[in-house]
Structure 1
Amino acid sequence: MGVIAETVRPDFILSLGDNFYSSGVQTVDDIRFRETFEKVFTHPLLSVPWYIIAGNHDHRGNVQAQIDYTQASKRWYFPDFNYVKAVSLPDGTAELTMVFIDTVLLCGITDMYFPGQAPINAEDEELADEIWSWLEAQLQQSRSEYLLVVGHYPVLSVGYHGTTLCLVQRLRPLLFQYNVSAYLAGHDHNLQHFTDSKGPNSVEHFVIGAGALLNTNRRNNHSVPVGSLKYFWPGGDSADSTSSDRTGGFAYAIMDNQRLNITLVDGRGKDLHQVTVASRNVDPQR
């Protein structure tokens, strides 16, 4: 990440949940903040704002402690379970709005005794409905050139955990309705890209969960729309890599006033797959 940062000079970094395995943290003074975050991401160019969202493993601990850590760190930014962050190009010609959602509050937590099982339903349905209403209001009012929704559970995934039915039913229609540029998720431990199309509309989906663990399982191929999967990377090159070569991966994005380029990379910084997302104010037929 540091090597990539020397080239792209990031303005901020996104963490897509499951920040602390396997049971989150307990207090704002938890040693894991230092041992798993501050002492790991030490390259000077990674000392930029980190926008955080919680995952199911974080919910096994105290998510409020992670939110409170925002006040103790110069770069950890996690103001609430759900929040919005907008950033603009220096010349003001394009804006990116990111809507961060807590998919555990929306859809429930995965069963720790059946780790491959998808979440069943929200623990607090009334709270979940409030979040859904809040989310739709944020999407409806956005006039940004790029609009991202960021969560932990994927809408679409062919991996071990697979597609999240709750998000297919409630989130997927909103992504189409409000012309969302892309949805970013983690949860499954690999890199995936989908183009989800409905009539003339399409939304790019990314699973970027290869930062700490890797899983080659594709048992949920049947759970995604036919033809939607554009890229799947389980770590390494299946033809010639050994387990020691499987270094994990992440993604970086570069934005201008006409396009947002999202590139999936392996742990050594090799570009694997690039997707260009047009500005919502640019005619895609042009």
Structure 2
Amino acid sequence: MAWFSTSPLWLTCFCLCVLSVSAQLQRIEHPAKADATLSLVVIGDWGRKGKYNQSEVALQMGRVAEKLNIDFVISTGDNFYDDGLIGIGDAAFEDSFSRIYNAKSLQKTWYNVLGNHDYRGDVLAQLNPILGKIDKRWICQRSFIVDTEIAEFFFVDTTPFVDKYFYKPKHHKYDWRGVLPRKKYLSKLLEDLDLALKGSTANWKIVVGHHTIRSIGHHGDTIELKMQLLPILEANNVDMYINGHDHCLEHISSTTSQIQFLTSGGGSKAWKGDINKNNLDGVKFYYDGQGFMSMELEKSNAKIVYYDIFGQVLNELNLSKGLQISAM
């Protein structure tokens, strides 16, 4: 391994209010703690029915979540391998999700985005609120906003941006219902995101998507997102972009803006030794094993910690508004 440092809404135990932002973005109100702090864990690329050490990562995630008294969980997509769900009755939902993430501390709302593997199955099943009746933690939409008062999380459906899924799908089929015509879908999504970011008054603006913008892992940078999504993030002073897709843990600092690129895609099967050493600009941390990420937010400070399969701390990043970034 390489390591170097340079619930449906009506069933949750707290008040969640869904307000219409646009045709594609909905806003979910999820208040921070009474002391105006927020804590969460981030996992990606996980749904393998416990295999490839998914269960072991889940165990450690539960322990960290208990220690931090988390408010919710973020999933960065590829929730069910290899080809998403086959329908709302697919046993994989319980075998890869409910029965694996069974720690008491993880019985919080899960905010999920879709990954490219999810699009190979029945996308509408994963988006169906009926799954929330099977497991009340499950919230999955294409693109949406979670407003915690001190931070706003903008979840973006990134798979439709990637050309090769449309033009060079190889042996895979993708469920594009609700996406076509593609150009109109993406244009509307980017317009809505831009407007929502411009209107945000949160201390922290955090965007979540499945695909990488910057990565030195197996997949590397996603060119379509660098061209279409990144300029909007930079123009609106986004603080962090969180993603999965590459099966690793990463922190890369932007060389042109304040954005920190954070990868948490080590939920199960990981890439070992698959590093692009020709694209190291801004790379602060990379680990090509399994693990997950935690985040603690205050009004002016953020602490991001990366953990391995044994729950050991691999890297720690501290951000302060108006101050320099420090990393361990």
Q: Which range, TM-score by smaller chain? A: 0.7 to 0.9
What residue is the counterpart of 2:175 in the other structure? Answer: none
What residue is the counterpart of 1:30 in the other structure? Answer: 90
What residue is the counterpart of 2:222 in the other structure? Answer: 164
What residue is the counterpart of 1:153 in the other structure? Answer: 211
What residue is the counterpart of 2:136 in the other structure? Answer: 74
Q: Which amino acid aligns with 2:254?
A: D
Aligned to 2:254, the other structure's residue is in SS state strand
Residue pair 1:15, 1:53 contacting (<8 A) in 2 also: yes
What residue is the counterpart of 1:283 in the other structure? Answer: 322
- Structure-1 separation of matches of 2:139 and 2:241: 20
Aligned to 1:202, the other structure's residue is in SS state coil
> Where do residues 248-267 of structure 1 align in structure 2 (5 Å cutoff)?
248-267=290-309
The alpha carbon displacement at 1:6 in A equals: 2.1
Alignment match of 1:6 (pick from 66, 74, 86): 66
- Structure-1 separation of matches of 2:277 and 2:224: 18
Q: Which moved more, 1:169-178 or 1:30-39?
A: 169-178
Aligned to 1:216, the other structure's residue is in SS state coil
Shift in CA distance, 177/136, structure 1 to aligned 2, threshold 3 Å? same
Residue pair 2:63, 2:105 contacting (<8 A) in 1 also: no
What residue is the counterpart of 1:97 in the other structure? Answer: 152
Higher RCO, 1 or 2 (CA under 8 Å, sep at least 6)?
Answer: 2
Shift in CA distance, 109/211, structure 1 to aligned 2, threshold 3 Å? farther
Q: Which moved more, 1:62-71 or 1:154-163?
A: 62-71
Residue pair 1:159, 1:221 contacting (<8 A) in 2 also: no
Alignment match of 2:282 (pick from 228, 239, 244): 228
The alpha carbon displacement at 1:217 in A equals: 4.2
Shift in CA distance, 141/109, structure 1 to aligned 2, threshold 3 Å? farther
Shift in CA distance, 228/67, structure 1 to aligned 2, threshold 3 Å? same
1:269 equivalent in alignment to 2:311 = yes
Aligned to 1:197, the other structure's residue is in SS state coil
- Structure-2 separation of matches of 1:70 and 1:277: 34
Q: Which runs of 5+ in 2 are unaligned?
A: 1-60, 173-179
> Where do residues 42-191 of structure 1 align in structure 2 (5 Å cutoff)?
42-68=102-128, 69-78=131-140, 80-88=141-149, 95-108=150-163, 110=165, 111=168, 113=170, 124-191=182-249
The alpha carbon displacement at 1:124 in A equals: 1.1
The alpha carbon displacement at 1:149 in A equals: 0.5
1:197 equivalent in alignment to 2:258 = no
- Structure-1 separation of matches of 2:181 and 2:265: 24
Pairs aligned (count): 254
Shift in CA distance, 61/17, structure 1 to aligned 2, threshold 3 Å? same
Shift in CA distance, 114/263, structure 1 to aligned 2, threshold 3 Å? farther
- Alpha-carbon displacement from aligned partner over 1:37-68 (angstroms, at most 9, x marks no partner): 00100111100000000000000001211111
What residue is the counterpart of 2:57 in the other structure? Answer: none
Aligned to 1:221, the other structure's residue is in SS state coil
- Alpha-carbon displacement from aligned partner over 1:139-192 (angstroms, at most 9, x marks no partner): 111110111100000001111111000111112222221111100010011111
TM-score, scaled relative to structure 2:
0.73
- Structure-2 separation of matches of 1:183 and 1:129: 20
- Structure-1 separation of matches of 2:181 and 2:310: 40
Q: Which amino acid aligns with 1:229?
A: V
What residue is the counterpart of 1:242 in the other structure? Answer: none
TM-score, scaled relative to structure 1:
0.83
Shift in CA distance, 195/99, structure 1 to aligned 2, threshold 3 Å? same
Aligned to 2:65, the other structure's residue is in SS state helix
Residue pair 2:98, 2:135 contacting (<8 A) in 1 also: no
Q: Identical aligned pairs, as a percentage?
A: 28
- Structure-2 separation of matches of 1:158 and 1:173: 20
Shift in CA distance, 228/285, structure 1 to aligned 2, threshold 3 Å? closer
